[in-house]
Amino acid sequence: MDMDSPRTAVSNPPVQPMEPNLTERDLIARSATSRLPAPARQLTPVAKLIDVSKCIGCKACQSACIEWNDTNPVMEENVGDYTNPHDLTEDMFTLMRFTEWVNPDNDNLEWLIRKDGCMHCADPGCLKACPAPGAIVQYSNGIVDFVHENCIGCGYCVKGCPFDIPRISRVDHRAYKCTLCSDRVAVGQGPACAKACPTQAIVFGTKDDMKKHAEERITDLKSRGYDNAGLYDPPGVGGTHVMYVLHHADKPHIYAGLPDNPRISPLVQAWKGVTKYAGLAVMGLAAAGAILHGVFARPNRVRPEDEENAERLVDQAERGPREDA
Amino acid sequence: MTNTENFAPEDTIRPGRPVTVGRYGPVKRLNHWITAACLILLALSGLSLFHPSLFFLTGLFGGGQNTRIVHPWIGVVLFFSFFIFFVQLWRLNLPNRADVQWTAQLDDYIAGREDRLPELGKYNAGQKLIFWGMAFFIIVLIGSGLVIWDQYFGETTPIELRRAAILVHSVSAVVIILLFILHVYAAIWTRGTLRAMIRGTVTGGWAWRHHRKWLRDLAGRRRIDPAE
């Protein structure tokens, strides 16, 4: 069996040797790189599925993420909210966002908990916006990863991202976000957060398997009265490799502002599309035109009679002050 | 002295064969070249992040991280140097009736038939276009540039504004580079112009041919250097 990607986060890593995974030859996109060689093989697309209805808000995923990535988020003040730290940071790649929401249909208070983090878009806005060759890469299994040694810290990825995920470190001026544990997946292990989740609210496997699993969960939720339960795999960004099962999939925004219909902003598309290509063409043509015209066209020269006229004018004017004296 | 003078305080005629006319003093020339150097460095560093095929230009600044650091600071220097330039030059760049006619007869200018054009003061409409265009786009570029200066102003504005700012910044940069090309081209095509910004003077014939009203005003006001 071709086991190029782990099928679950629960099992222990494979004991048999594995072919190296997620290398340069598995790239399907590389930032600021136009001629990328075709990948040598197609890895099985993977996905993380987060079932918000099964989440108990324990933050084991956050702890596991900190542990595996060896980050050290600063302790923050309690401002009367379980969300801690208060936002994603360069040291906190995933964050439980807690929302108290009153369901207008039945006046019930619902405590919505969503594990926020990189969605690993099939059409990644960060990668589109990035000006540094190879600072953002996309593997054929769907993982979008930041390559920090190529990052220049400009913050363009922040503007490209429809989910407000990347954070620029104030220490080393490089962008950070969830890697989907690419360094674990490459050796046959599932992401740390999924491995740590005590309720299996976070599961990991092939994207097809995760969609099937989501269907079962949605059927179950519907049978329990959540008529609008559904899968969040937004088509505006070509689908994502982190998906949610939402019990209110008709209104994703209630889950701490999850975008209803995310897509790369038209402003970013215009900047990275027509502006980039038309701009370069216009500047190049203007420069080439100026040089050609400068070489071949007749310059505007001052003629000897111009100098004579100026001398005459000045002579006449000079006579003026002497009359005063 | 009225405020409708058509020349700057340091503009003087130095009689001789040929006549020379002081056009820019040392302060303005120094300021011009600081601004020019900044604009060139900004164009190179900005273009390196504008299109992947130009990323190699970051090598001139010591790599991508250094380019990202240095670009905004050069912009700040340019803003202030151009601001001083603007204060010194804006009055003589106000448009007037002659500019309308000059623009309408642009083909005569390009064909070198300047005797058919109205006599001009210190600047023609093309030079005024460069001046006001530069001023306008420098303000747009510094404004949008501050919004996207991630290191200091990263999260101080809403994300949609930052996205709009980066689009405005890149479009404005393209326009100002076009203005820059036009400016350099015109200064070279119109022979005898460059020395105004290098030595500070032009020949009387240059002034007679291109800015006759300016020359007449200087002569009429007897702004003739008696030492020569």
Indicate the domain borders of chain A.
Answer: 24-264, 272-324
Q: What's the CA gap between A279 and B176, in Å, rounded?
A: 11
Q: Which residue has the tokens 């309720």?
A: A199
Q: Which residue has the tokens 């190296």?
A: A20
Give yes or no for B185 touching A (CB within 8 A): yes
**Amino acid B228: pLDDT:** 45
User: If pLDDT is split at 50, 70 and 90, which confidence band does B223 have?
Assistant: low
Please, which residues 136-165 of chain B have a Cβ atom closer than 8 Å to chain A? 148, 150-151, 154, 159-160, 162-164
Q: CATH no. for residue B168?
A: 1.20.950.20
Question: Residues B84, B176: one domain?
Answer: no
Residue ranges making up the domain that contains B48: 26-89
Contacts made by residues B155-164, CB under 8 angstroms, sequence distance 24+: B159/A158, B159/A159, B159/A164, B160/A265, B160/A267, B162/A158, B162/A159, B163/A159, B163/A265, B163/A267, B163/A268, B163/A271, B164/A267
Question: Residues B110, B149: one domain?
Answer: yes
pLDDT per residue as tens digits for the range B66-83: 999 999 999 999 999 999
Q: What's the CA gap between B9 and B46, in Å, rounded?
A: 37
In-domain check, residue B13: no
Element (H, E) at A322: helix A304-324
User: How many angstroms away from the CA of A265 is the closest CA of chain B?
Assistant: 8
What's the gap between Cα A9 and its chain centre? 23
Q: What is the rounded average pLDDT for all residues in chain B?
A: 93
Total count of domains within chain B: 2
As assigned by CATH, the class of the A24-264 domain is alpha beta
Q: What's the mean pLDDT in B92-116?
A: 91
The chain B residue lying nearest A153, using CA atoms, is B65
Give yes or no for B191 touching A (CB within 8 A): yes
Q: What is the rounded average pLDDT for all residues in chain A?
A: 93
Question: Residues B73, B135: one domain?
Answer: no
Catalytic (active-site) positions of B = 183
Q: What's the CA gap between A131 and A154, in Å, rounded?
A: 9
In this complex, the residue of B150, B173, B209 whose CB is nearest that of residue A306 is B209
Question: Residues B100, B184: one domain?
Answer: yes
Q: What's the CA gap between B24 and A260, in Å, rounded?
A: 60
User: How many angstroms away from the CA of A190 is the closest CA of chain B?
Assistant: 33
Q: Give the best residue of A146, A267, A277 to mutate against chain B (max B CB count within 10 A).
A: A267
pLDDT per residue as tens digits for the range B170-206: 999 999 999 999 999 999 999 999 999 999 999 999 9
Question: Residues B39, B79: one domain?
Answer: yes
Q: What's the CA gap between A198 and B64, in Å, rounded?
A: 43
User: Above 50 in pLDDT, residue A122?
Assistant: yes
Residue pair A88/A282 in contact by the 8 Å Cβ criterion: no
In this complex, the residue of B162, B171, B191 whose CB is nearest that of residue A302 is B191
In-domain check, residue B208: no
C-alpha torsion B37→B39→B42→B43, nearest 10:
-110
In-domain check, residue B220: no
Q: Give the best residue of A34, A146, A149, A271 to mutate against chain B (max B CB count within 10 A).
A: A271
In this complex, the residue of A34, A158, A283 whose CB is nearest that of residue B177 is A283
**Minimum mean pLDDT among A199-213, A258-272, B14-28, B43-57: which range?**
B14-28
User: How many angstroms away from the CA of B91 is the closest CA of chain A?
Assistant: 25
In-domain check, residue B42: yes
In-domain check, residue B225: no
Question: Residues B95, B187: one domain?
Answer: yes
In-domain check, residue B109: yes
Which percentage of chain B shows pLDDT scores above 70?
95
The whole-model pTM stands at 0.92
Q: Are B163 and A265 in contact (CB < 8 Å)? A: yes
DSSP string, A5-61: S-S-SSSPPPSS-----S-GGGEEEETT-S-PPPPSS-PPPEEEEEEGGG-----HH
pLDDT per residue as tens digits for the range A46-103: 999 999 999 999 999 999 999 999 999 988 888 888 999 999 999 999 999 999 999 9
Question: Residues B95, B67: one domain?
Answer: no
Radius of gyration in angstroms for the set of CA atoms belonging to chain A, rounded to a whole number: 29
